[in-house]
Structure formats: C-alpha cells, structure tokens
C-alpha cells in the first residue's frame, strides 16, 4: 500500500495554484516558475536574553514572486513559522496582491519564536538582529515587510529604526508602523474593516439579512477583534468568540467592547461575565450564519468540516481550511469566501501607507477607509463574476484571477 503523507502548507496552497494554472493552460515551465519562490533567505537570529544567556532563533524571508512589483508581505513571530509555512504564506501574498490589483509581488517572513515568552527588550533586540540579517533584501522599491501573527506596529517601528540606521530615514521600508512615525491612519483596523465589509456584502448576495445574523469568530487578536467591533455597526450579532485559551458564547450576542476590556485586564477571552465559557472545538461547531476563522492556519479540517453548522465561512486568517475541508464544505453547500480576498484589507492599506510615505503626505482616515472599501468591492465583484461565469468556487475564481495577472506580468516583462 502506498503510504499517504499529510501535505505541507505550501503543497496545500499549490493544489489551488495548480487548478488555476491548469484552467489557464499555462505551460509546465511557467507553472514551475510561478509555483516556486524566487528567493529564500534563512538566517540565524541570536539574542542576548535579559538574564545574560544567548538564545539562537531561526528566521526566514521568502520572496515568492516579484513580477508585478516590489515583494510585499508580513513578518510572523510564531513557534510553527517554519520555512514551509512561510513559503505558503509568501505565495498567498503573490496571489492576494495580484487579485486586488496592487502593484506588489508576494513575500513573507518569519521567526520561529513564541513572542509571549520574550520581554519587550528581548523582542526589540530580536527584531533588530533579524532586520539586520535580512536587510540586504529589503528596500522601499524591493521588499516591504508588514505585521502578521505575533508582530505589530511596535515591531515595525523597530524594523524601520534598524533599517534607517544603515540607509537613512526610510519610512516606506515597512508598513503597519505606528501613526506617530509614518503609519497610516486606518491601518490597524484595515483587515477587520475589509472582513466586516465582505461579510455584509456576501450575506446580502446570499439573501441573508446581515442585521441580526449570528456570527462566530475564532481569534480575538487584531483581525478578529476589529472584525467583531465593526460588524456590530452592520447590526450583526457576534455570538461566539475565542482566543488562544478558549472562548465565550452568548446566544443573545456578546458585548464586544466589554469583552475587549475583559481581555485587556485578564489577558484572555474565557471568564467573561457576559457569556459562558466554551472550548475552541465547541466554538467552531456552534450553529450560526457566518463562521469567521481569524486566527492560525489549518483549523478547518476533514475532521471538523462535516460538523460545522454555518451557511458561510469567511476566511479572515491565512489558509485556515485544508483542501479536504474545502471539498467537504463545497459538498455540503457551505459557501467559503477565500483568504486572499477576505483579508486583503491589511495589504491594501499597507499600499496606501507606502504611497503616503513615498509622497510624504498624509491622508485623512475617512479617505483611507473609503478607498479601502472601493478596492475590496472591486475584488469581490471580480471574484463573484468569475465564479458565476465559470461555475467554480470563489476560491478557484480568486486564484484564477491572481495567477492570470502574475502570468501576464511575466509575459509582458519578457524575462524568460
Ligand atoms: N500580514 C498581512 C497579510 O497577510 C498584511 C501584509 C502587508 O500588509 O504587507 O496580508
């Protein structure tokens, strides 16, 4: 019997890529060039810890494809951020920036570390060492990092500072910075704003009334918490939320500002007085209209996909569903809106931040939010039209549009 092994995250993403390449009739050579990262850097990141001993971490920057512009993508600090996961995420950035028609390629970086275990001073030293070790790949017109899981505006401030010590003040070298030192208004909320907008649009187009729709969100970090906050503006009811240590549920809707306050004080979601505690597994199986995975990857699997009791899955996290889960959800008639469309709000406002930095000009927040929704809407309409005209899933449509644009850029540039 042939032993079947579990696919790696990069192999999983490439199943979606291969389907798109097949439907576009790309040659084997083009497929190989577009599938594989153009460049990968592995670095050692030694850090002197506060007690004096040295810890050595491993970091990566994977530049997946630069045909459409400078490489763009976040930096992840997570114990599972190995090179294969970073590759998968870098390729998703390539398809995401192309799908949203932003003038960028795709990249991702990662350091295998649990940031919760390090002090602020240790994180500052780790970030500086990592930045210096990948600095020769970076530049405002070459490769522009941003926050991702486990990193935030403070991390980007340290990166900008480390980069600036070598190259002079260069705010456009990273995005997602604090507003006080060149960040864009509206960047912090951007991914969640895009997610909330997309939930509202999709629900309407599925003839569900967003007003009163029951939403369950897995993850209460930057993306999950902003999504929850902004969804309330559309009249939706967030009935379940979970964080790393478990979740809470209230059939009548959770008071999100109060839950945020509780998380700030206690450091976790469970124990909130305005709901009952549930496990992460129970949360995913709650009956609801919309399920929003907004945490880590591979949380929707062949094991739990048959048990989901939702009508719509909106992927705020990157790569939350395995291909098997994707197939099961499609068979069950549960609509899935794919990550490269849903969570593009972050990189869209990163694009605005980069242009503002290059022009040394600041936009008002209302302009940022307005332009963000325009681009989200165009991406959503493109995906819907492609899915309807070709009778394919929204994920297949999103990949087909992204892959076609990158293939076209390669052809126009004429470098092969
Ligand atoms: N890390 C975010 C993402 O996965 C944002 C990337 C960026 O702004 O460059 O899309």
Residue 349 within any structural domain of the chain: no
Closest CA to 158 of 136, 137, 176: 176
Burial of 56 (0-12, 13-18, 19+ CB in 10 A): exposed
How far is it, in rounded angstroms, from Cα 94 to Cα 186?
23
Closest CA to 117 of 50, 187, 172, 176: 50
Task: Give me the helices (H) in 332-393, please.
Answer: 339-342, 345-359, 365-390
pTM for this predicted structure: 0.96
Is residue 345's pLDDT more than 70?
yes
| Residue 97 belongs to domain spanning | 36-172
Q: Which of 281, 313, 342 is the last residue of a domain?
A: 342
6 assigned to active site: no
Is residue 1's pLDDT more than 50?
no
Which atom belonging to ligand 1 lies closest to the Cα atom of 176? 8
Name the residue of 105, 148, 189 to mutate for ligand 1: max ligand atoms within 8 A of Cβ.
148
- For the record, the structure tokens of 33 come out as 């060039």
How far is the centre of ligand 1, averaged over its atoms, from the C-alpha of 359 (Å)? 21
Contact yes or no for 214/239 (Cβ under 8 A)? yes
Average pLDDT over residues 69-85: 97
Q: The tokens 């739990």 sit on which residue? A: 304
Tens of pLDDT, residue by residue over 377-391, are 999 999 999 999 999
| CATH number of domain containing 101 | 3.40.50.10860
Tens of pLDDT, residue by residue over 271-314, are 999 999 999 999 999 999 999 999 998 899 999 999 999 999 99
Which atom belonging to ligand 1 lies closest to the Cα atom of 72? 9
Residue 4 within any structural domain of the chain: no
- Are residues 257 and 196 part of one domain? yes
Tens of pLDDT, residue by residue over 221-267, are 999 999 999 998 888 999 999 999 999 999 999 999 999 999 999 99
| CATH number of domain containing 225 | 3.40.50.720
Q: What is the pLDDT of residue 5?
A: 80
- For the record, the structure tokens of 360 come out as 């040394």
Provide the domain count of the chain.
Answer: 2
Residue 239 within any structural domain of the chain: yes
- Are residues 206 and 166 part of one domain? no
- Are residues 221 and 162 part of one domain? no
How far is the centre of ligand 1, averaged over its atoms, from the C-alpha of 303 (Å)? 29
Residue 61 within any structural domain of the chain: yes
- Are residues 166 and 199 part of one domain? no
Name the residue of 138, 176, 293 to mutate for ligand 1: max ligand atoms within 8 A of Cβ.
176
- Are residues 330 and 251 part of one domain? yes
- Are residues 150 and 40 part of one domain? yes
Arithmetic mean of pLDDT over the chain: 96
How far is the centre of ligand 1, averaged over its atoms, from the C-alpha of 327 (Å)? 26
Q: What is the pLDDT of residue 360?
A: 94
Which atom belonging to ligand 1 lies closest to the Cα atom of 89? 4
How far is the centre of ligand 1, averaged over its atoms, from the C-alpha of 349 (Å)? 9
How far is the centre of ligand 1, averaged over its atoms, from the C-alpha of 131 (Å)? 17
How far is the centre of ligand 1, averaged over its atoms, from the C-alpha of 75 (Å)? 8
Name the residue of 61, 64, 73, 342 to mutate for ligand 1: max ligand atoms within 8 A of Cβ.
73
Contact yes or no for 90/73 (Cβ under 8 A)? yes
How far is the centre of ligand 1, averaged over its atoms, from the C-alpha of 148 (Å)? 6
Residue nearest to atom 9 of ligand 1 (CA): 73
Residue 159 within any structural domain of the chain: yes
Average pLDDT over residues 84-107: 98
- H or E element in which residue 11 lies: helix 9-24
- Strand order of the β-sheet with 214-218 is 276-278, 246-249, 237-243, 214-218, 290-293, 312-314, 335-337
Instruction: Report the DSSP pairing between strands 276-278 and 290-293.
Output: unpaired
Is residue 2's pLDDT more than 90?
no
- Are residues 118 and 157 part of one domain? yes
Average pLDDT over residues 90-107: 98
Which residues does ligand 1 sit against, CB inside 6 Å? 72-74, 146, 148, 175-176, 318, 343, 346-347, 350
Tens of pLDDT, residue by residue over 28-76, are 999 999 999 999 999 999 999 999 999 999 999 999 999 999 999 999 9
Tens of pLDDT, residue by residue over 171-200, are 999 999 999 999 999 999 999 999 999 999
pLDDT range class, residue 416, cuts 50, 70, 90: confident
Which atom belonging to ligand 1 lies closest to the Cα atom of 148? 1
- Are residues 194 and 158 part of one domain? no
How far is the centre of ligand 1, averaged over its atoms, from the C-alpha of 74 (Å)? 5
- Are residues 201 and 313 part of one domain? yes
Closest CA to 105 of 52, 162, 56, 37: 37
Which atom belonging to ligand 1 lies closest to the Cα atom of 318? 4
Residue 391 within any structural domain of the chain: no
Q: Which of 117, 139, 172 is the last residue of a domain?
A: 172
Residue 207 within any structural domain of the chain: yes
Residue 410 within any structural domain of the chain: no
- Among 72, 96, 108, 177, which one carries the catalytic annotation? 108
pLDDT range class, residue 415, cuts 50, 70, 90: confident
- Are residues 208 and 133 part of one domain? no
Q: What is the pLDDT of residue 3?
A: 53
Residue nearest to atom 8 of ligand 1 (CA): 347
Name the residue of 146, 295, 338, 357 to mutate for ligand 1: max ligand atoms within 8 A of Cβ.
146
- Are residues 141 and 97 part of one domain? yes
Tens of pLDDT, residue by residue over 117-173, are 999 999 999 999 999 999 999 999 999 999 999 999 999 999 999 999 999 999 999
Q: Which of 140, 172, 204 is the last residue of a domain?
A: 172
Which atom belonging to ligand 1 lies closest to the Cα atom of 175? 8
- Are residues 335 and 230 part of one domain? yes
């Amino acid at each position: 019997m042939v032993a079947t092994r579990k696919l790696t995250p990069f192999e999983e993403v490439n199943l979606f890529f291969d389907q798109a390449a097949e439907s576009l009739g790309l040659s084997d050579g083009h497929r190989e060039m577009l599938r594989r990262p153009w460049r990968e850097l592995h670095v050692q990141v030694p850090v002197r810890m506060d007690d004096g001993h040295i810890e050595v971490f491993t970091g990566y920057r994977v530049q997946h494809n630069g045909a459409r512009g400078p490489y763009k993508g976040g930096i992840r600090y997570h114990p599972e951020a190995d090179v294969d996961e970073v590759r998968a995420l870098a390729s998703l950035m390539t398809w995401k920036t192309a799908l949203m028609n932003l003038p960028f390629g795709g990249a991702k970086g990662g350091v295998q570390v649990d940031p919760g275990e390090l002090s602020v001073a240790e994180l500052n030293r780790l970030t500086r060492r990592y930045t210096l070790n990948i600095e020769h790949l970076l530049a405002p017109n070459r490769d522009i990092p941003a926050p991702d899981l486990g990193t935030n505006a403070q991390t980007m401030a340290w990166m900008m500072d480390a980069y600036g010590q070598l190259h002079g003040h260069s705010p456009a070298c990273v995005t997602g910075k604090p507003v006080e030192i060149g960040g864009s208004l509206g960047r912090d909320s951007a991914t969640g704003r895009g997610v909330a907008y997309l939930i509202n649009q999709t629900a309407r187009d599925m003839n569900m009334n967003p007003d009163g729709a029951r939403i369950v969100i897995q993850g209460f970090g930057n993306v999950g918490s902003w999504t929850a906050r902004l969804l309330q503006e559309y009249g939706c009811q967030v009935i379940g939320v979970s964080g790393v240590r478990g979740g809470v549920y209230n059939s009548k809707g959770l008071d999100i500002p109060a839950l945020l306050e509780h998380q700030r004080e206690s450091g976790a979601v469970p124990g909130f007085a305005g709901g009952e505690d549930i496990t992460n597994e129970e949360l995913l199986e709650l009956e609801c209209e919309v399920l929003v995975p907004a945490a880590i990857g591979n949380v929707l699997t062949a094991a739990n996909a048959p048990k989901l009791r939702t009508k719509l899955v909106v992927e705020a996290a990157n790569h939350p569903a395995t291909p098997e889960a994707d197939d099961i959800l499609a068979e069950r008639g549960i609509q899935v809106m794919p990550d490269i469309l849903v969570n593009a709000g972050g990189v869209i406002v990163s694009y605005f931040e980069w242009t503002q930095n290059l022009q040394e000009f600041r936009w008002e927040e209302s302009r940022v939010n307005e332009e963000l929704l325009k681009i989200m809407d165009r991406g959503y309409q493109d995906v819907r039209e492609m899915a309807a005209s070709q009778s394919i899933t929204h994920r297949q449509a999103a990949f087909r549009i992204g892959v076609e644009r990158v293939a076209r850029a390669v052809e126009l540039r004429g470098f092969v």
